[in-house]
Amino acid sequence: MSENTSAPAAAACPRCREPVDGHRFCENCGHDLWLRRGGAARAPSGPCPGCGANGTNTPNGFGVDEAGEDYCSTCGIRRDDGTEHIEADLGQVAGVSDRGLVHAHNEDAMAVGVLAAPDGQALVAAVVCDGVSTVDAPELASRAGADAALERLLHPSGPDMSKAVEEAADAVAALVDGSHGHFRNPPSCTLVAAVVDPGPEDGVSITVGWVGDSRAYWLAAPDAAEPARLLTVDHSWATEMINSGTLDAETALADRRAHAITRWLGAGGEPHPEIVTIRPAGPGLLLLCSDGLWNYYPGAEELAEVALSTLARGGPVAVARELTTIALNAGGRDNVTVVAVPVGPWDERGTP
């Protein structure tokens, strides 16, 4: 047996393929070599899946009439815009966003990212946005908000939750500049974002910021030092009525205005976030989700029971898939987005 003594292949920039030498940024194209991102929708290409019309030369790549907007002008099938079902798995963080069973479009969006120097601990960030269904093009707001917030959370200058939400609000507000059409009711969305900092000196810290009723949960075993709980407080009519003592919970939640949000990103909204930071005393799972999940499973304990056993078997992507499936099986009346981040001494497959 002979030992392989050939020199290892030189690393290459994933964007431009030029050789790189261990610096954070590619000297040729400026790509951030320490950053990995996921969650963006990718428009499908190829012929129409309904009639097979060859669309390789058409602007939208479907072989359908662009003027037909959502439907193929040949067979009438509704086009997939690339957001029907999205999965992202970066190992330390994973998410699933699904259209659900009732809505015509997926108006949710997610953005996940990992920033890690070679041989260094990873900074993990995730964002979930839920487009407000009563406005025009809510999916534009959720995508713009999620992307802008993640960009700021993983900025080279370090994570800044307040600034991330501010820049997400600016990105949503900029949608009315005319480049995306003219809106009678401008796009808007909710947002929940989190950044998990390994903190070599002070231990792991989790900072969560939110506007609206998208949620963050800390999920842990029943006997854990850091108990499972909801980390966010909904900015909704019902929550405000209950917290102010105006109505009891039963009355408030039965009101038709119960789920009306009181803060959002977009025209007429109050984009001021609430921000909390926790330092978990033990391992657990950070979960971000839209109301497409928590409308069916609002309790932290019940979510933990499902999520932690699934995490041990298949890692965070299995958690996101399982909870999304549960929401769909329960009715899937809304878009569903679930992002899972193991925290503590778990490996990438969720094994403690």
Among 41-45, 262-266, 329-333, the least confident range: 41-45
CB 188 within 8 Å of CB 269: yes
pLDDT on residue 79: 66
Please check the confidence at residue 310 and state whether its pLDDT lies above 60. Answer: yes
pLDDT on residue 46: 65
Chain centroid to CA 197:
18
- List the chain domain ranges: 85-343
Average pLDDT of the chain, as a whole number: 86
Residue 126's pLDDT band (boundaries 50, 70, 90)?
very high
- In 3-state terms, what secondary structure has residue 141? helix
Among 52-56, 210-214, 217-221, 232-236, the least confident range: 52-56
Beta bridge partners of 87: 96
Please, what sign has the CA dihedral across residues 151, 153, 159, 162?
Answer: positive
pTM score: 0.86
Determine the length of the chain: 352
By CB atoms closer than 10 A (0-12, 13-18, 19+), residue 256 is: exposed
Average pLDDT over residues 291-304: 96
> Which of the listed ranges 34-38, 50-54, 343-347 does the model predict with the highest average pLDDT?
34-38
- In 3-state terms, what secondary structure has residue 133? coil
Tokens matching residue 305: 């029971």
pLDDT on residue 58: 45
CB 256 within 8 Å of CB 182: no
Closest CA to 96 of 351, 333, 297, 326: 326
CB 150 within 8 Å of CB 226: no
CATH number listed for the domain at residues 85-343: 3.60.40.10
Please check the confidence at residue 128 and state whether its pLDDT lies above 80. Answer: yes
Furthest-apart CA pair in the chain: how many Å? 80
Distance, CA of 159 to CA of 209 (rounded, Å) = 12
